[in-house]
């Protein structure tokens, strides 16, 4: 689904090393990946980023848990990494309970209260297994 359009601003200039690990350039990380995080904090996040091997985009996984378990999904309305419309498609396909937040890709950093509320709501909705 993500390959259907041009690369988003956050990943348009990925630097891929000889081992196939992709790194976001500082400008793209600070201004697009973590756009609504304080710039000094975003630069620290950039400095400690962990790369993703490009082969991950081609990996096939087994049966996803959302096919048999209740699911929740946070749509980041201003995401410049994964388009919000793609996130909405993912959520709909999962049959997930969806929360939309006016944030960028790292909602857990820029909007932690909303993320915690969604997690607490999900936890309260699922009966404890015995």
pLDDT at 6: 87
**Mean pLDDT on 79-102:** 96
Residue 53 in 3-state DSSP?
strand
pLDDT above 90 for 99 = yes
CATH top-level class of 2-125: alpha beta
pLDDT at 1: 58
pLDDT at 110: 97
Whole-number Å distance between alpha carbons of 48 and 26? 11
pLDDT above 90 for 102 = yes
Q: What is the pLDDT of residues 12-56, one digit of tens each?
A: 999 999 999 999 999 999 999 999 999 999 999 999 999 999 998
**Backbone phi and psi for residue 107, each to the nearest 5 degrees, phi listed first:** -60, -35
* Average confidence score pLDDT of the chain: 94
Using 50, 70 and 90 to split pLDDT, how confident is the model at 2?
A: low
Stated pTM of the model: 0.89
How far separated are the first and last CA of the chain, in Å rounded? 38
Residue 74 and residue 44 in contact, taking contact as beta carbons nearer than 8 Å? no
Using 50, 70 and 90 to split pLDDT, how confident is the model at 3?
A: low
Both tokens of residue 116?
């915690």
**Mean pLDDT on 2-9:** 81
* Whole-number Cα distances in Å, 51 to 11, 23, 25, 46, 84: 12, 5, 11, 11, 23
């Amino acid at each position: 689904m993500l390959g259907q359009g041009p690369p988003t601003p956050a990943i348009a200039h990925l630097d891929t090393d000889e081992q196939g690990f992709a790194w976001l350039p500082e400008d793209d990380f600070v201004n697009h990946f973590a756009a609504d995080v304080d710039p000094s904090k975003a630069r620290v996040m950039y400095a400690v980023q962990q790369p993703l091997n490009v082969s991950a985009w081609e990996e096939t996984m087994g049966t996803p848990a959302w096919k048999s378990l209740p699911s929740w999904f946070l749509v980041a309305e201003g995401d410049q990494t994964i388009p919000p419309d793609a996130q909405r498609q993912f959520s709909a396909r999962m049959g997930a309970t969806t929360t939309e937040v006016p944030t960028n890709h790292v909602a857990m950093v820029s909007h932690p209260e909303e993320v915690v509320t969604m997690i607490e709501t999900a936890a309260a909705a699922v009966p404890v297994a015995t």
